Amino acid sequence: MAVWCFGSINIDHVYTLPHLPAPGETLAARGYRSALGGKGANQSVAAARAGAKVRHIGAVGSDGAAALAGLEVAGVDCRGVQQLEGPTGHAVIMVEPEGENSIVLCPGANRALSLEAAMAALDGVELDDILLIQNETAHQAEIAEAALGLGMDVVYSAAPFDLDAVQAVMPFVNTLVMNAVEAAQLQAALGVAFEDLPVSNVVVTRGAEGASWSSRGMDAIHVPALPVKVVDTTGAGDCFAGALAAALDRGAVPEEAMRFAAAAAALQVSRPGTAAAMPALSEIMALLGESG
């Protein structure tokens, strides 16, 4: 079993601010760091540190050596990562003292990757392996369709939210993962209840209010968020999605997988950073033991 992540790889430029800037306001940063990021890379690292065998499919630019090294150090197989001319994707992340953030994203190589090479990178897929995808690359629908045809379970983290992208990918998705804002946007746009969406499972994360799993013909599962001191919420949703995929990949039932993902996300928001803040399997299991 393995988790295959088709997703973005970014270089994050993180600025710590006294508060998020208002329109027209100039602020002096209290701190700065550069680190591996991108929803795809974050989810790959989260899944790998949570115990899964992970292969990443994506792209970096000519400046992407450090990003690749960061993935490999976390235990992610990067044979499927294309190395292109031009810049690696990057993000400017502004974080205020309570942990809330604002993000500006430049896609770079994530939108320039080759579909043919990405398809070829699926070589070696086994039945019931998991494909984890997001909305920060090109060709999500094509890769999801190919994966479903190979017998993979497709987990789709529908962020950043884009209605056209969601509608294109949903026919090839087993499990749709969204936060509460994205879920409300999707329901408003389509005018349908979750049980009428063309996917088997819908997972909605609600921050401090926990998360829910809805499946056709079953009562919804709700797991609470674990109480922690929040330091930085950047990457929390990615941590949840990656840990959820890791748990499902090793055969966990939905409630068990959701509790595992909630514990991982709780640990991740209690420390600064994105990919670098993803917790190890031993940390997640220890927290579940303490809270259970």
| pLDDT tens sequence across 40-77 | 999 999 999 999 999 999 999 999 999 999 999 999 99
d(CA 259, CA 254): 9
User: For the segment 187-209, what is each residue's pLDDT rounded down to a tens digit?
Assistant: 888 888 777 788 999 999 998 89
Q: What is the DSSP letter of 171?
A: G
Our CA angle for 92, 51, 208, nearest 5°, is 55
CB 126 within 8 A of CB 2: yes
DSSP assignment letter at 112: T
pTM: 0.91
The mean per-residue pLDDT over the stretch 232-259 comes to 95
Can you tell me the mean pLDDT for 89-112? 90
Give the chain's end-to-end CA distance (angstroms, integer).
27
Which segments within the chain are labelled E, that is strand? Answer: 3-6, 10-16, 31-37, 54-60, 76-83, 89-95, 101-106, 130-133, 153-157, 175-179, 201-205, 211-215, 221-223
Looking at every residue in the chain, the average pLDDT score rounds to: 93
Percentage of the chain exceeding pLDDT 90: 79
pLDDT of residue 291: 64
Catalytically active residues, by annotation? 238
The tokens for 156 are 């789709």
203 close to 177: Cβ distance less than 8 angstroms: yes
Q: pLDDT digits over 142-197, tens only?
A: 999 999 999 999 999 999 899 999 999 999 999 999 999 999 899 888 888 777 78
- Structural domains in the chain? 3-21+30-291 (3.40.1190.20)
Please report the pLDDT score of residue 64 as a whole number.
Answer: 94
